[in-house]
Amino acid sequence: MTEAPGAHNPNVLPPNIPAPQDDGAAKHLNGMKLPDLALPATSGSAVNLSKLKGRTVVYIYPRTGVPGIDLPPGWNDIPGARGCTPQACGFRDHAGELAELGAAVFGLSTQSTEYQREMAERLHLPFEVLSDAGFEFTTALRLPTFEVEGRRLIKRLTLVIRDGAIEHVFYPVFPPDESAADVVRWLRAHPVG
């Protein structure tokens, strides 16, 4: 499906987008300790995920689009690329349930904090989005990446972190608009006790 030039709507997940396959690129993550890094957040503060106590959910996505600004050519044909805005909206809509289950939520991409802030305000996200524009977090964890138009992006995955270590990894994530509901189901099935 190709959108008319300048008509991109990131809120809409087109039908028949290709599903990503598990390429094994996230197998090593379960049980890993997070790097001691402070990442810039959309609030203007910095967040060090390795220092947070309890459960934290971090949904990691390639890049969000902006209404009316065209996506890179072929974006819809890349398995797992499309759907960052619907995924963010899913976590927004499930934020209350996630909080009731004791999980803090963050989004994370390699886009700049300024870019992320526009998206977070536009979508009314009740949580912070973290920027790994320098790829320190991505490199330390050896997160799966791909390239589009010479730009390196992180493949979509979601981490459930407990006291600074990765407890569970959702990878690949598909469909992205159901990601938050999948996390809620997993948290309900795996209570901290």
- Residue 74: HSE in the Cβ half-sphere, 13 Å Cα cutoff: 5
pTM over 0.85: yes
25 in a structural domain: no
Closest by CA position to 154, among listed 76, 84, 52, 73: 84
- In this prediction, residue 4 carries a pLDDT of 46
- In this prediction, residue 14 carries a pLDDT of 79
d(CA 141, CA 136): 9
Angle at 150 between CA 172 and CA 64, to 5 degrees: 50
Range of the domain at 94: 32-189
The CATH number of whichever domain residue 48 belongs to comes to: 3.40.30.10
18 in a structural domain: no
19 in a structural domain: no
5 in a structural domain: no
Residue pair 145/171 in contact by the 8 Å Cβ criterion: no
Query: Based on the structure, what is the number of domains in the chain?
Result: 1
CB contact set of 139 (below 8 Å; sequence gap of 6+) = none
CB atoms within 10 A of CB 95: 16
- In this prediction, residue 11 carries a pLDDT of 67
Is 161 exposed, middle or buried, given 0-12, 13-18 or 19+ CB atoms closer than 10 A?
Answer: buried
102 in a structural domain: yes
pLDDT mean values, one per 10 residues, the chain (193 residues): 51 84 98 98 98 98 84 88 93 98 98 94 97 98 95 97 98 97 98 86
- Burial code (b: 16+ CB inside 10 Å, e: under 16) for 130-155 equals bbbeeeebbebbebbebebeeeebbb
- In this prediction, residue 9 carries a pLDDT of 60
- In this prediction, residue 110 carries a pLDDT of 96
- In this prediction, residue 73 carries a pLDDT of 86
11 in a structural domain: no
10 in a structural domain: no
144 in a structural domain: yes
> What is the sign, positive or negative, of the torsion defined by CA atoms of 142, 148, 149, 153?
negative
Residue pair 176/83 in contact by the 8 Å Cβ criterion: yes
